[in-house]
Structure 1
Amino acid sequence: MRLLLPFVILPILEIALFIQVGGLIGVLPTIALVIGSSLLGVAVMRRQGMVAAMDVQRAMQEFRDPARPMAHGALVMIAGLLLVVPGLFTSALGLLLLVPALRELLLGWLGRKAGAAGMRYDYRSTASVDFGDVPPRQRRGAGWQDEEIIDAEYSVQDDPPQPVRQGLTDQQGPGAASGRRGNSGWTRH
């Protein structure tokens, strides 16, 4: 019943606002206002959707937490959706959500509410890896350089003598009977 209440109250509120505003400014300006807010909502969702996606991508490239850009992007998309829905009350809510300071306040309130409800999110890895005493470092930002460079040398060895080389053939497949060297990954071609 609690979830059904907004769906009953919202249409009644919208109808009452249409009547009041229509009486003040007239029917055609009221209809133009609703159509204009819908067009604005579509434009906001198209433009801000791309901006939000780029903000999330930038945060991930800089190894920052993408939660805040994602939350702002979600609120902007909700604002656009509220503007698209025909109605004056929903359009007013959509316009309020477009104000960055109000979005920040709403996100802070939602964060406190989620924290009070015991919802905690941790983005750290829970896997434990034993690489000695020093934990593995995370890559930080575009100017990051590896401080632990391992210097190594290698050399190419000649093919082994003929009897040893015959043991390097694949024993299955079309070349098994002829003794042809296979593609096992261990043979050199």
Structure 2
Amino acid sequence: MWLMLPFVLLPIIEIALFIQVGGAIGVMPVIALVLASAALGFAVMRRQGARTAMNLQRAMQQFGDPAKPMAHAALVMIGGLLLVLPGLFTSAMGLLLLIAPLRELILRRMAARVSVSGGGFGWYRAGGDFGDDFPAGFRRDGRWGADEAIDGEYSVQDDPPAPIREGLTDGQETPPTGSRRGNSGWTRH
């Protein structure tokens, strides 16, 4: 029920704003305002892609947290999308998301509501009951034991028959012109 509320209220708010603002300034200026906000939204979304890449690269070079530039970029993209949507209310919300201090406030509020619980593997943390038979390397508390050994099995497989091997690199056939073949270390000789 609560998820449907914005989809019901948003068109009603937009229509009411169109009527009020259109009555105050006229129909043509309202249409020009909506078209201008759509053009601004497209420009913001186009510019944000390159800017996000630069901010992300700068954060990685300075060994910073890339989450903050990505979160700001996501909010700017949402703001651009809201500007593209036809309507005065959505355009106002999109313009508000373009203001950096307001984005910072939104991100701080969102971060305050997020809680991070202990790490571990989902199958164990999700309540899987293994009794005394824990997977190799794991202790009862769900952590990885550094002194634990992992058991494994392997089998040696022979090379496939000749028709399947054609085209594989074994270092004995001459490569076609333009391609580089040879002992790459990845093939068995």
TM-score normalised by the chain length of structure 1: 0.62
Counterparts of 1:29 and 1:121, CA distance in 2: 55
Structure 1 alignment gaps of length 5 or more: 131-172, 176-182
**CA deviation digits over 1:148-174, x for unaligned, max 9?**
xxxxxxxxxxxxxxxxxxxxxxxxx89
Offset, 1:184: 9.8
For the residues of structure 2 that align with 1:120 and 1:32, how far apart are their CA atoms? 50
Q: Which amino acid aligns with 1:37?
A: S
Q: How big is the shift at 1:73?
A: 0.4
Q: CA RMSD in A?
A: 2.7
The residue that corresponds to 1:100 in the other structure is: 100
- 3-state SS of 1:86 partner: coil
Gaps of 5+ in 2: 120-142, 148-169, 173-182
* Greater RCO structure (CA 8 Å; 6+ sep): 1
Identify the residue that residue 90 of structure 1 maps to in structure 2: 90
Residue in structure 2 matched with residue 20 of structure 1 by the alignment: 20
Query: 4+ residue stretches of structure 1 with deviation over 2 A?
Result: 118-122, 126-130
Equivalent positions of 1:1-189 (< 5 A) are: 1-114=1-114, 118-119=115-116
Describe the superposition over 1:35-92 as per-residue Cα deviations: whole angstroms up to 9, x where unpaired: 0000000000111221012101221232211000000000000000000000000000
SS at match of 1:2: coil
Closer, same or farther: CA 56–174 of 1 in aligned 2, 3 Å:
closer
How far residue 120 of structure 1 moved from its aligned partner, in angstroms, is 5.5
**Distance in 2 between residues matched to 1:78 and 1:14, nearest whole Å:** 18
**TM-fit CA distance, 1:127:** 8.1
Tell me the amino acid that sits aligned with residue 83 of structure 2. Answer: L
CA distance in 2, matches of 1:174, 1:24: 81
Mark the CA change 1:129 to 1:68 in structure 2 (over 3 Å): closer, same or farther: farther
Q: Distance in 2 between matches of 1:29 and 1:127?
A: 65
Post-superposition offset of 1:129: 7.4
Task: Verify the 8 A CA contact 1:34 1:86 in the aligned structure 2.
Answer: yes
* Matched residue SS, 1:10: helix
Supply the AA of the counterpart residue of 2:42. V
Counterpart CA distance in 2 for 1:128 and 1:59 is 33
Identical amino acids, percent of aligned pairs: 64
CA distance in 1, matches of 2:44, 2:101: 17
